[in-house]
């Protein structure tokens, strides 16, 4: 492997790891450089809610000692990684950007955090997010919004907005996010980075604070396709602590990266293109041309069931939320507002601890699961979910991958949609269907919109098709090089406001 390349593709994280493993660079030096970038740039961006500088330095020193002793600390040796703050870190505050978890320090690491450490990665901090991952702009955070490094007057998307912004701003080459309805892919698109939502069950959810358990999936954000693939390779794999973890999580993705798209069938998904802005559609069309030029057979494909996605999602996800978030009752951890009796204490703690979007979804979910309403809402949504799976299944009988926009628009101004929940929910209309189906999908930066902001195109595939998705993503990345490359440290320069 060359410095900063993998399979001939740009891979800054892989390059750093290579340098540290071979002794060409010290982990301490790498980590210090990134901590300086965070210190300088984060106040303007608010990507991190917690910078773990001392932990990171200690880990880096240990890595350097191991390299000096002739050990190989792993494929991510010395690479700074940011964690979305819904991933449990032993002894380190994990807040989900909610007042509700104020002061809570998990007594354990999420499985993915353990896998990162085993691969030699250095966790540099916890990133901002929409409260409990509910939102599409990182504006529902109790710690204030994260700003888009490409234009700090705009949102970074969400809910993994902090992780996407941290990578886009060059604070760290890699970050983990979670994606329940598009929360990795949509911010990746709006910030101009690569984001992958893996097949449900390929990455352990143990230690991911649950939002909607049947939809949640952890995945990588990175500046390039090869780095995203590398991080995915490290964190995925069966975990006996997660009953929904797949026994076999698919073939290795890295060897597939330079496979190209020659001979692949790729469907341009009509329903995803329908509601998108013209400049976004234009970028998707250009991506289709690039893939076609690289040997893929591109045709338009309609999967009408996809239109059921948004409504089904906003019944299923809140239903699970209402149950998953019941445990925040003030009894065992997090915020407690003392009161005369237990029920009043529960109510007061939850009223003060949760923000309005979280409350809205808990109420929606409680309603749709209630006796007398369950059949009309929740069960109906489950039937729609089945139909979406069937719709995709029939499409994948005709093609290997589907192509569409990741989000209908480029990054929107901060505050534009906070008063209109439905408009905000529509930001996820293109990403939600893959979560409902449990399928993998990735967002790749491809050109810019009329406003000069990044556009993400989305590649969708059937279960365990990550190698094919990433190979196609690499083709798009190569074609778009220069068109909308990452803009490291724009934040530090002040960005556009």
- Positions touching another protein (CB under 8 A) are 86-88, 94, 96, 101, 104, 106-108, 110, 205-210, 212-214, 240-244, 319-320, 322-323, 326-327, 329, 331-333, 342-343, 346, 366, 369-371, 374, 378
| Closest alpha carbon to 276 in 409, 442, 431, 101 | 409
Minimum Å distance from CB 111 to another protein?
Answer: 10
149 and 165 Cβ atoms separated by less than 8 Å: yes
How far is residue 38's CA from residue 48's CA, in Å, rounded to a whole number? 8
Residue 235 backbone dihedrals phi, psi, to 5 degrees: -90, -20
Length of the chain measured in residues: 497
How far is residue 175's CA from residue 82's CA, in Å, rounded to a whole number? 4
Q: 131 vs 271, which CB is nearer to another protein?
A: 131
How far is residue 340's CA from residue 7's CA, in Å, rounded to a whole number? 64
26, 141, 159, 443: which one is catalytic?
159
Q: 242 vs 279, which CB is nearer to another protein?
A: 242
Minimum Å distance from CB 387 to another protein?
Answer: 18
How far is residue 74's CA from residue 453's CA, in Å, rounded to a whole number? 36
* 322 among known catalytic residues: no
DSSP letters, 355-402, are -HHHHHHHHHHHHHHSTTTTIIIIIHHHHHHHHHHHHHHHHTTT-SEE
Minimum Å distance from CB 365 to another protein?
Answer: 9
Minimum Å distance from CB 321 to another protein?
Answer: 11
Q: 331 vs 376, which CB is nearer to another protein?
A: 331
Minimum Å distance from CB 178 to another protein?
Answer: 11
Minimum Å distance from CB 213 to another protein?
Answer: 4
Interior/surface letters 105-116, b for 16+ CB within 10 angstroms, e for the rest: ebeebbbbbbbb
* 84 among known catalytic residues: yes
Minimum Å distance from CB 364 to another protein?
Answer: 13
- Taking 3-state DSSP, the helix, strand and coil percentages for the chain, each rounded to the nearest 5, stand at 45, 15, 40
Return the structure tokens found at 9: 């593709």
Question: Which pairs with CB-CB distance under 8 Å and at least 24 residues apart come from 8-12?
Answer: 8/258, 9/224, 9/225, 9/226, 9/257, 9/258, 9/474, 9/477, 9/478, 10/223, 10/224, 10/226, 10/477, 10/481, 11/224, 11/226, 11/227, 11/230, 12/173, 12/223, 12/224, 12/227
Return the structure tokens found at 358: 């979280």
Strand partners, 326: none
59, 84, 160, 443: which one is catalytic?
84
Minimum Å distance from CB 144 to another protein?
Answer: 22
136, 137, 163, 183: which one is catalytic?
183
Helix (H, G, I), strand (E, B) or coil at 163: helix
CA 246 to chain centre: 20
138 and 146 Cβ atoms separated by less than 8 Å: yes
CA 386 to chain centre: 24
| Residues 6 or more apart in contact with residue 367 via CB below 8 angstroms | 373, 377
Q: 142 vs 190, which CB is nearer to another protein?
A: 142
How far is residue 443's CA from residue 192's CA, in Å, rounded to a whole number? 9
Q: 27 vs 101, which CB is nearer to another protein?
A: 101
Q: 327 vs 398, which CB is nearer to another protein?
A: 327
Q: 106 vs 158, which CB is nearer to another protein?
A: 106
Q: 224 vs 245, which CB is nearer to another protein?
A: 245
Catalytic residue ranges: 84, 159, 183
């Amino acid at each position: 492997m060359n410095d900063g390349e993998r399979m001939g593709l740009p891979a800054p994280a892989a390059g750093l790891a290579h340098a540290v493993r071979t002794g060409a660079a010290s982990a301490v030096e790498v980590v210090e450089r990134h901590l300086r970038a965070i210190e300088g740039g984060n106040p303007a961006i608010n990507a991190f809610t917690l910078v773990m500088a001392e932990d990171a330095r200690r880990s880096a020193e240990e890595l350097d000692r191991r390299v000096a002793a002739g050990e190989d600390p792993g494929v991510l040796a010395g690479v700074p990684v940011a964690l979305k703050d819904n991933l449990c870190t032993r002894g380190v505050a994990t807040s989900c950007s909610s007042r509700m978890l104020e002061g809570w320090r998990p007594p354990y690491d999420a499985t993915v955090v353990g896998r990162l450490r085993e691969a030699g990665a250095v966790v540099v901090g916890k990133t901002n997010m929409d409260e409990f991952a509910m939102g599409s702009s990182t504006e529902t955070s109790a710690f204030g919004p994260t700003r888009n490094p490409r234009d700090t007057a705009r949102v970074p998307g969400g809910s993994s907005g902090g992780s996407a912004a941290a990578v886009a701003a060059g604070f760290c080459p890699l970050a983990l996010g979670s994606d329940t309805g598009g929360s990795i892919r949509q911010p990746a698109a709006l910030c101009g980075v690569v984001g992958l939502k893996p097949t449900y069950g390929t990455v352990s959810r143990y230690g991911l604070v649950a939002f909607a358990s049947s939809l949640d999936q952890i995945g990588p954000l990175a500046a390039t396709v090869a780095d995203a693939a590398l991080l995915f390779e490290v964190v995925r794999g069966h975990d006996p602590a997660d009953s929904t973890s797949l026994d076999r999580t698919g073939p290795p993705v890295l060897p597939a990266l330079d496979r190209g798209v020659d001979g692949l069938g790729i469907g341009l998904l009509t329903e995803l293109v329908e509601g998108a802005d013209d400049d976004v559609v234009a970028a998707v069309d250009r991506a289709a041309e690039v893939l076609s030029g690289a040997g893929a057979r591109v045709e338009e494909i309609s999967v009408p069931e996809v239109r059921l996605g948004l409504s089904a999602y906003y019944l299923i996800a809140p239903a699970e939320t209402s149950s998953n978030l019941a445990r925040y009752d003030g009894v065992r951890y997090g915020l407690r507002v003392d009161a005369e009796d237990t029920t009043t204490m529960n109510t007061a703690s939850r009223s003060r601890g949760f923000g309005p979007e979280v409350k809205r979804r808990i109420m929606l979910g409680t309603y749709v699961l209630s006796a007398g309403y369950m059949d009309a809402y929740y069960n109906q949504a489950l039937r729609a979910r089945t139909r979406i799976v069937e719709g995709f299944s029939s499409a994948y009988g005709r093609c290997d991958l589907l192509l569409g926009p990741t989000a209908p628009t480029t990054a929107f101004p901060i505050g534009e949609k906070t008063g209109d929940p439905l408009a905000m929910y529509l930001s996820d209309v293109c990403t939600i269907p893959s979560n409902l189906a449990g399928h993998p999908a990735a967002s790749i930066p491809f050109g810019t919109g009329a406003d000069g902001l990044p556009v993400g195109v989305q590649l969708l595939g059937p279960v365990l098709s990550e190698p094919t998705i990433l190979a196609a993503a690499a083709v798009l990345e190569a074609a778009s090089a220069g068109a909308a490359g990452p803009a490291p440290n724009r934040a530090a320069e002040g960005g556009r406001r």
